[in-house]
Amino acid sequence: MENNSNNLNQANTPMQNNIADDEIDLRELFTAIWQGKWIIIAITTLFAVASVFYAINQPNIYKSEALLAPAEQDQQGGLGALAGQFGGLASLAGVNLGASGGVDKTQMALEVLKSRQFTSEFIQKHNILPDLMAAKTWNRETNTVIYDEELYIAEQNKWIRKVELPFKSEPSMQEAYKEFSKIITTNKNTETGMVTVAIEHVSPFIAKQWVDWLVVDLNKTMKERDVVEANKSTQFLMNQLENTKIADIRTVLYKLVEEQAKTIMFANVRDEYVFKTIDPALVPEEKFKPKRALFVVIGTLLGGVLSAFFSLFKYFIKKK
């Protein structure tokens, strides 16, 4: 038994020695870091200076936002009540009154706002492509945008950026849409239904102006869509009336024509068709970003961590 115990102890001794060798002594770590302290100080200082330089050269970004409320309107346009009252008769005439749930015009408007078609039309209508794609910074004293001269020459209204095919010097609407999607934010409060639309830009005046334009154009677009649809529906219903002799079905069709007439009337008398402005956009006085102090802190910490790892790596390589 004693011989077996001795053999087991002798067998476990190399394993214990290997485990001890693999363990890292904290004192040794401190020694390695202390020996490389000048490297750590130098690299950390370099990262700190670079982060300060980077933070200083970042332009101020201003954020302007507007608080909107869904316009008070029957989301179903009266068709929900008609569906419950005359749904069976309407089906005989080949007219679908739709589901009782109706259409959420607010959500539809937000989707239109984020669509490629609306964004492209908005950019072209207001000629904001240079301010979107080439704006570099903003001069507070003259209230003018300074453009990146490697991309755009404002005096000549000429794009000179160098790109490879299939891109061109003047940015396409696809490029503009991607850039615009980065600076616009929409947020809908599920409890109150309130909607916030915000724009970020180097110029606070441009940010405010674009928010105002977005609200106006979105209401106008949704209004035009509903008017076009109502006119088409009215024409279809009038054709159905001419071909229908059943009194009950004619009653349904007249009710539907009346609802379409209401839609057209409301659209013509209301400018704020989908959204009402509760708190309009303002010209922000303070920048929204960048957080320059945070950049410097993160850059300095990153330099310290990387330099410490480098010192440890160098120490243990020499030790081996």
Write the pLDDT tens digit of every residue in 195-243: 999 999 999 999 999 999 999 999 999 998 888 888 888 888 888 888 8
Residue 203 contacts residue 131 (beta carbons within 8 Å): yes
Backbone angles phi, psi at 249, to 5 degrees: -70, -35
Confirm if 287 and 140 have CB atoms less than 8 A apart: no
> Two tokens at 79?
């068709």
For residue 153, the cross-strand partners are: 158
3-state secondary structure of 308: helix
Please list the ranges in the chain whose pLDDT falls under 50. 1-2, 4, 8, 11, 13, 15, 17-22, 74-85, 87, 89, 92-94, 98-102
- Whole-number pLDDT of residue 205: 96
CA distance 204 to 211: 11
Query: What's the CA gap between 180 and 133, in Å, rounded?
Result: 9
- Residue 37 carries which side chain, given as an amino acid letter? K
What pLDDT was estimated at residue 260? Answer: 83
78: alpha, beta or left, given left = phi > 0 and alpha = psi -120 to 50?
Answer: left
Contact assessment for residue 160 and residue 152, using Cβ atoms and an 8 Å cutoff: yes
- The CB-based long-range contact list for 258-261 (8 Å cut-off, 24+ gap) reads 259/77, 259/78, 259/79, 259/82, 260/230, 260/231, 260/233, 260/234, 261/230, 261/234
Q: Taking Cα atoms as reference points, which of 165, 164, 206, 163 lies closest to residue 183?
A: 206
Question: How far apart (Å, rounded) are the C-alpha atoms in residues 29 and 165?
Answer: 53
Predicted model pTM: 0.75
User: Residues of the chain with pLDDT > 90: what percent?
Assistant: 40
Q: Are 275 and 70 in contact (CB under 8 A)?
A: yes
130 upstream amide cis, omega within 30 of 0: no
**For 6, how many CA atoms within 13 A lie in the half-sphere containing its CB?**
3
- Does the bond joining 166 to the residue before it have cis omega, within 30 degrees of 0? yes
The H or E element spanning position 275 is strand 275-279
The pLDDT, as a whole number, for residue 24 is 55
Residue 125 CA to residue 217 CA, distance in Å, equals 10
Token pair for residue 50? 């670079």
Residue 60 to residue 203: CA distance in whole angstroms? 8
